[in-house]
Amino acid sequence: TASTPVEQGFVASLRRPGGNVTGIMVHLGIAGKIVEITREALPQAKRLAVLVHEPDPLHKLILATFLPAAQRFKFEAIVVRVTRAEDLERAFKEFADRKADALFLPDFAFGVSNRRQIVERSLKARLPLLSGQPDTAVAGGLLSYGTPREENYKRAAALVDQILRGAKPGDLPVEQPERFQLVVNMKTAK
């Protein structure tokens, strides 16, 4: 499965995208790193669930990283698909029925807009929640590993500034994450 803007055909190269395109690259491979961190943080865990928002086209790319990583780190992968917020009740029932030991929440817009509800449900179910967004750990998830959203906003603003000053988007490199942050919610961990 194509996982970079080059492989997906959006740009000619990350260094010189060409055309009228540039941007900030989302690190889709973060799912594999979160699986690895989960193994370290929860060594007794056997079943690792992932909540997939099926309408989001990125779900296939995230699963293409998550599933092999789950296998490599000896997890039984539990994939639960949702299409709307009303599906969360069913999803959490399925996590319980399938005896999930932890839950990975990919960085979908769905997860961001429903974060509070997902965090509350995971806390109530005593299901450790892991994410690529620090905001999720701050909100009550167990841990997160990823690029802070604010950093991406600043980098995007810098690109917009360059374009407004006359730079051609196709001449500006597609920016990749430079810094990753591990956040552990100690209150949740206890």
Please provide residue 80's backbone torsions phi and psi, each rounded to the nearest 5 degrees.
-120, 125
Predicted local distance difference test score (pLDDT) of residue 187: 96
Query: Which of 121, 129, 132 has its CA nearest to residue 45?
Result: 129
Can you give the pLDDT at residue 8?
A: 67
Measured from the Cβ of residue 147, the count of other Cβ atoms closer than 10 Å reads 23
- pTM of the prediction? 0.85
Contact of 129 with 141, CB cutoff 8 Å: yes
DSSP 175: B
Q: Interior CA angle at 175 toward 133 and 13, to 5°?
A: 130
Long-range CB contact pairs, 41-45, < 8 A, 24+: 41/128, 41/142, 41/143, 41/184, 42/101, 42/102, 42/128, 44/101, 45/75, 45/101, 45/102, 45/128
Residue for token pair 């000896």: 74
pLDDT of residue 24: 82
Tell me the pLDDT of the chain (190 aa) as tens digits. Answer: 445 666 667 777 778 888 888 888 776 678 899 999 999 999 999 999 999 999 988 888 889 999 999 999 999 999 999 999 999 999 999 999 999 999 999 988 899 899 999 999 999 999 999 999 889 999 999 999 988 878 888 888 999 999 999 999 999 988 887 788 899 999 999 9
Cα angle 97-81-6, degrees, rounded to a multiple of 5: 140
> Rounded distance, CA 149 to CA 166, Å?
26
**50 contacts 77 by C-beta, under 8 angstroms:** yes
pLDDT for position 179: 82
pLDDT on residue 1: 45
Measured between alpha carbons, how far is 175 from 120 in angstroms, rounded to an integer?
A: 34
Question: Radius of gyration over alpha carbons of the chain, in Å?
Answer: 18
Strands 143-146 and 181-184, bridge-based pairing? antiparallel
